[in-house]
């Protein structure tokens, strides 16, 4: 439990699946990490008074509200955590930053480059008065992913030569699975590309320490029409008898050229039968390689080409020791962590950044750069897979 420290009062806007994950992060971080400020789960905000009350009771929020605008004006709120669909990120984040609140915003940062740019500008202005903003690319904070980044940065795989990243799920494989907001371009911005491809882009750039400069891609909508949603449950829900048009991609494939000249391949799919939450990043270097797989998140595959040839091969490092990133705060060595722990690490890192007034990463500027990659993949696909340079001036 954290020391007897000043409170950091959090308001969270939205209470879907990501709301549950963020609540878990806020609740556990101060209980396992010795934090300089004590996060308090003050207000949960949602459109339906009844639904938001039920969620707040389940997850442990003190109060509820239905109007986010009045909440961000409150003097007793320090942090605004945004877990709504992408179409409201910009409006809420900019208003919260202008009101002097620290902002944590779910990924992708926005639904367009223009929105992401406006958010990044607002974050830069707010940073001058010590107000912090961070985007929720949570998988950076899985200990094995952080370790992979550390090994690459320490030169343990030599010079990076090739990058491969894929995020594959199958929860839309059933053509009768109903429309949700994630299938509506107006709400989600894009489909598999922005929903999960954004994670693959962020994680590949994070682990490799390299940034994408140009892309060539294709997008495909595999099932163009689905039953409308009757009642939402988790990522999906029950179907109504009416049907609607899917307005986003189901599958995104693209090649990337990094600023260094290194080439990479990317894949994002919600139709990869049998792949449940398969986020994989493999970085091949001149003297070794690292391979991260979210479906095996307590380990990291490491290949050391400088080892004697007779014993060379990918080694499965169990990332469960106190010496590994984040792990010491949890269970005795070897006792493994799960999906939810990334959200606790995210809350911990954000609280520490707020306290030390240090820009947290991934920053809104990092989120904007990912947004530019997403937009470039879309324009490349619309232009017959033409190589498209990431426009950093836009």
Q: Which residues bind ligand SOE (CB under 6 A)?
A: 169, 195-196, 199, 235
CB closer to ligand SOE out of 77 and 135: 135
Closest-approach residue to ligand SOE (CB) = 195
With contact defined as beta carbons under 8 Å apart, do 237 and 179 qualify?
A: no
CB closer to ligand SOE out of 117 and 199: 199
CB closer to ligand SOE out of 139 and 302: 139
How many CB atoms are located within 10 Å of the residue 27 CB? 17
CB 349 to ligand SOE: min, Å: 17
Longest Cα–Cα distance in the chain: 66
CB 20 to ligand SOE: min, Å: 11
Taking CA atoms, 270 is separated from 35, 62, 222, 317, 372, in Å, by 37, 36, 10, 29, 22
CB closer to ligand SOE out of 197 and 285: 197
CB 353 to ligand SOE: min, Å: 21
CB 317 to ligand SOE: min, Å: 23
CB closer to ligand SOE out of 101 and 140: 140
With contact defined as beta carbons under 8 Å apart, do 35 and 29 qualify?
A: yes
**What end-to-end distance do the CA atoms of the chain give, in Å?**
45
With contact defined as beta carbons under 8 Å apart, do 29 and 2 qualify?
A: no
CB 370 to ligand SOE: min, Å: 12
CB closer to ligand SOE out of 71 and 198: 198
Say whether 265 sits in a helix, a strand or coil: strand
CB 352 to ligand SOE: min, Å: 23
CB 191 to ligand SOE: min, Å: 10
CA distance 289 to 151: 9
The residue among 296, 286, 230, 241 whose CA lies nearest residue 260 is: 286
Tokens describing residue 242: 């009416």
With contact defined as beta carbons under 8 Å apart, do 203 and 142 qualify?
A: no
How many CB atoms are located within 10 Å of the residue 315 CB? 13
CB closer to ligand SOE out of 180 and 369: 180
CB closer to ligand SOE out of 9 and 15: 15
CB 234 to ligand SOE: min, Å: 9
Where are the alpha helices (H) located in 171-237, listed in sequence order? 185-188, 192, 198-208
Size of the chain, expressed as the number of residues it contains: 394
Say whether 78 sits in a helix, a strand or coil: coil
């Amino acid at each position: 439990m954290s020391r007897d420290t000043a409170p950091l009062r959090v308001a969270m806007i939205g209470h879907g699946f990501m709301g549950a994950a963020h609540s878990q992060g806020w609740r556990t971080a101060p209980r396992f990490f010795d934090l300089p400020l004590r996060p308090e789960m003050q207000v949960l905000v949602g459109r339906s008074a009844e639904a938001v009350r039920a969620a707040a009771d389940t997850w442990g929020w003190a109060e509820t509200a239905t109007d986010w605008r009045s909440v961000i004006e409150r003097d007793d709120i320090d942090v605004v955590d945004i877990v709504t669909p992408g179409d409201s990120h910009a409006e809420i984040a900019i208003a919260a930053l202008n009101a002097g609140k620290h902002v944590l915003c779910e990924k992708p940062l926005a639904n367009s480059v223009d929105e992401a740019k406006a958010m990044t500008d607002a974050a830069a202005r707010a940073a001058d008065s010590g107000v912090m903003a961070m985007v929720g690319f949570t998988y950076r904070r899985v200990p094995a992913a952080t370790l992979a980044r550390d090994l690459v940065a320490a030169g343990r795989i030599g010079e990076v030569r090739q990058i491969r990243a894929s995020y594959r799920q199958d929860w839309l494989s059933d053509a009768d699975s109903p429309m949700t907001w994630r299938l509506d371009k107006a709400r989600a911005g894009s489909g598999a590309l922005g929903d999960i491809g954004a994670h693959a882009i962020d994680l590949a750039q994070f682990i490799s320490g390299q940034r994408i400069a140009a892309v060539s891609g294709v997008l495909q909508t595999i099932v163009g029409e689905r039953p409308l949603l009757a009642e939402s449950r988790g990522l999906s829900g029950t179907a109504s008898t009416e049907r609607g048009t899917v307005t986003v991609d189901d599958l995104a494939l693209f090649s990337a050229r990094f600023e260094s000249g290194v080439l990479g391949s990317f894949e994002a799919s919600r139709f990869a039968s049998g792949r449940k939450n398969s986020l994989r990043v493999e970085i091949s270097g001149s003297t070794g390689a690292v391979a991260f797989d979210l479906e095996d998140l307590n380990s990291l595959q490491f290949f050391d080409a400088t080892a004697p040839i007779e014993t060379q091969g990918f080694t499965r490092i169990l990332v469960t020791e106190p010496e590994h990133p984040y792990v010491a705060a949890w269970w005795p060595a070897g006792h493994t962590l799960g999906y939810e722990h990334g959200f606790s690490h995210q809350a911990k890192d954000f609280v520490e950044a707020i306290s030390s007034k240090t820009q947290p990463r991934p920053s809104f500027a990092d989120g904007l750069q990912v947004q530019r990659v997403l937009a470039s993949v879309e324009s490349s696909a619309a232009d017959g897979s033409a190589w498209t340079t990431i426009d950093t001036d836009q």
